[in-house]
């Protein structure tokens, strides 16, 4: 595809390397240029309107163009546009946000530590776990167990925690000390006749067997998303988190809840941990924390994590970790206002109230000839698709459907052949119907193309 030499598309091809993108494909086809947003909609540079069915990247809770967040950023920018939290310095917005998050946490937490992305937050957690083990005189207790298909970020450490092959290939990952256990996807992983509860118990046994084979004295922590997001929106089966936590308690292993996607209302509860009865020692937060208007993330740690770390910092003379933008005052101010909007407008309640409609429309698509399984909770879900014509080409069918949705004005995301839906929490029932009407029409269109022997 050719573009005018000075167009945004042409300059994008010339100068920018994109995330999660086939660079050669981008060179040939260019990018979709989004210019503005309003509520659940975004508009491209030709004026075409799209439902943002992924809330950006699972993150814009309050919708696009929220004036209160713009005003909060402007006020703070005028007062104190930047300062850091190194060497016993601080500022009001970071203190206010830390206090707010500790108060909101679903279980007692001691301290908040700020970073700028979910990847940075989970990378920091790996370092905190190691630091704590050394402080406790347990230098061998460093390994962290994650799950296959889990997603925890893209830094060296967080991408190692991630259990997706494309995050490891050609990056020489995962790094040593990171292990992976069973993905809790009942349909894909259960043996014939195995109930959800039985499958959950088997997942817990797999975890315990891994712990015993590695040596319990070497395992420091287990990390998991309450609902797995980028791995295909995998909702935990009945009894899963109860069974997993029993194993972790048995061997004194820390539990890290990655709430980067689930946090602040996505599951119909303020946190996914509340939804599933998870009692984490550490939580990582981002995305809907600021609706991604500005980059900010947080790590919450409880007292049994904090105290050894504080003591070790006294022994060494410092806690030698930090980011230039940790607790950035403008980002913190925007996050505080964003949380105020979520609470004042009861967006968690909106997710809870609209979830039955969202899930009903999603599950209705399961009857489509291309569908295999619909799964979801709150306002997050996925439709897994399959056709024998693409049995040896995983992801091709998903990409075809995703392209068809784009053409019809819906931005979704195919994770292989799982079509994800995760709209802003401000969505209405009528807009949910509009979104799934487009998805259904797109499935029909692709099915017709396949029946005619085309590639879409």
Average pLDDT over residues 46-60: 98
pLDDT for position 452: 85
pLDDT for position 240: 98
Positions of E strands within 155-293: 178-181, 219-224, 254-258, 282-285
- As a whole number, the mean pLDDT across the chain is 97
pLDDT for position 1: 75
Backbone angles phi, psi at 66, to 5 degrees: -75, 110
pLDDT for position 122: 98
Q: Is residue 52 within a helix (H) or strand (E), and if so which, with residue range?
A: strand 49-52
Does the pLDDT value for residue 339 go beyond 80?
Answer: yes
pLDDT for position 455: 54
The candidate with the shortest Cα–Cα distance to 289, out of 59, 86, 51, 1, is: 59
Positions of E strands within 233-305: 254-258, 282-285, 297-301
d(CA 141, CA 105): 27
In the chain, which segments carry CATH 3.40.640.10?
A: 69-344
Domain 69-344 has CATH 2.102.10.10: no
Residue 276: both structure tokens together: 């599933």
pLDDT for position 2: 78
Name beta bridge partners: 42.
37, 50
d(CA 71, CA 73): 5
CA dihedral 10, 15, 21, 23 (to 10 degrees): 80
Tens-place pLDDT, residues 402-428 = 999 999 999 999 999 999 999 999 999
In the chain, which segments carry CATH 3.90.1150.10?
A: 32-62+346-451
Does the pLDDT value for residue 393 go beyond 70?
Answer: yes
pLDDT for position 456: 45
Average pLDDT over residues 42-60: 98
The candidate with the shortest Cα–Cα distance to 386, out of 358, 406, 408, 414, is: 414
Average pLDDT over residues 203-225: 98
Tens-place pLDDT, residues 105-130 = 999 999 999 999 999 999 999 999 99
Ramachandran bin of 63, using left for φ above 0, alpha for ψ from -120 to 50, beta for the remaining angles: left
pLDDT for position 152: 98
Does the pLDDT value for residue 148 go beyond 60?
Answer: yes
d(CA 345, CA 343): 6
d(CA 167, CA 163): 8
Tens-place pLDDT, residues 159-209 = 999 999 999 999 999 999 999 999 999 999 999 999 999 999 999 999 999
Does the pLDDT value for residue 318 go beyond 80?
Answer: yes
Query: Binning pLDDT at 50, 70 and 90, where does residue 374 land?
Result: very high
The candidate with the shortest Cα–Cα distance to 115, out of 333, 264, 284, 281, is: 284
pLDDT for position 454: 60
pLDDT for position 3: 84
The distance of Cα 228 from the centroid of its chain, to the nearest Å, equals 8
For the domain made up of 32-62+346-451, the CATH class stated in words is: alpha beta
Task: Print burial letters for 206-240: b (CB count within 10 Å at least 16), e (below 16).
Answer: bbbebbeeeeeeebbbbbbbbbbbbbbbbbbbebb
Average pLDDT over residues 279-290: 98
Average pLDDT over residues 93-104: 98
Residue 19: both structure tokens together: 């995330």
The distance of Cα 350 from the centroid of its chain, to the nearest Å, equals 20
d(CA 359, CA 381): 8
Q: How many CB atoms lie within 10 A of CB 270?
A: 22
């Amino acid at each position: 595809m050719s573009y005018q030499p000075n167009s945004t598309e042409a300059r994008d091809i010339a100068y920018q390397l994109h995330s999660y993108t086939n660079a050669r494909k981008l060179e040939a086809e260019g990018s979709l240029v989004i210019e503005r947003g309003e509520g659940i909609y975004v508009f491209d540079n030709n004026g075409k309107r799209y439902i943002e069915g992924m809330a950006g990247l699972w993150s814009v809770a309050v919708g696009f163009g929220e004036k209160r967040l713009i005003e909060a950023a402007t006020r703070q920018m005028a007062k104190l546009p930047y300062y850091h939290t190194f060497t016993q310095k601080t500022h009001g917005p970071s203190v206010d946000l830390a206090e707010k998050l500790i108060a909101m946490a679903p279980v007692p937490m001691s301290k908040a530590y700020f970073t700028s992305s979910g990847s940075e937050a989970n990378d920091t957690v790996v370092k905190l776990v190691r630091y704590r083990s050394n402080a406790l005189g347990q230098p061998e207790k460093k390994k962290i167990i994650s799950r296959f298909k889990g997603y925890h970020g893209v830094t060296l450490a967080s991408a190692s925690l991630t259990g997706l092959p494309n995050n490891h290939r050609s990056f020489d990952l995962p790094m040593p000390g990171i292990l992976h256990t069973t993905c809790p996807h009942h349909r894909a992983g259960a043996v014939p006749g195995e109930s959800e509860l039985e499958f959950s118990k088997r997942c817990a046994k797999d975890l315990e067997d891994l712990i015993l084979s590695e040596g319990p004295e070497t395992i420091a922590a287990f990390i998991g998303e309450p609902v797995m997001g980028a791995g295909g929106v995998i909702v935990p089966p009945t009894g899963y988190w109860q069974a997993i936590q029993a194993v972790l308690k048995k061997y004194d292993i820390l539990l890290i809840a990655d709430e980067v996607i689930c946090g602040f209302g996505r599951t119909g509860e303020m946190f996914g941990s509340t939804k599933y009865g998870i009692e984490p020692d550490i939580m990582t937060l981002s995305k809907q924390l600021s609706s991604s208007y500005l980059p900010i993330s947080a790590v919450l740690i409880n007292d049994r994590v904090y105290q050894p770390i504080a003591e070790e910092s006294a022994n060494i003379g410092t806690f030698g970790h930090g980011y230039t933008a940790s607790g950035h005052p403008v980002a913190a101010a925007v996050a505080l206002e964003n949380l105020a909007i979520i609470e004042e407008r009861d967006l968690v309640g909106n997710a809870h109230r609209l979830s039955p409609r969202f899930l009903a429309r999603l599950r209705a698509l399961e009857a489509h000839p291309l569908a295999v399984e619909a799964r979801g909770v709150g306002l997050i879900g996925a439709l897994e698709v399959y056709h024998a014509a693409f049995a040896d080409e995983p992801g091709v069918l998903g990409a075809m459907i995703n392209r068809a949705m784009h053409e019809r004005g819906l931005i979704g995301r195919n994770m292989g052949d799982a079509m994800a839906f995760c709209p802003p929490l401000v969505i209405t029932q009528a807009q949910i119907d509009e979104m799934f009407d487009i998805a259904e029409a797109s499935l029909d269109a692709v099915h017709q193309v396949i029946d005619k022997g085309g590639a879409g």
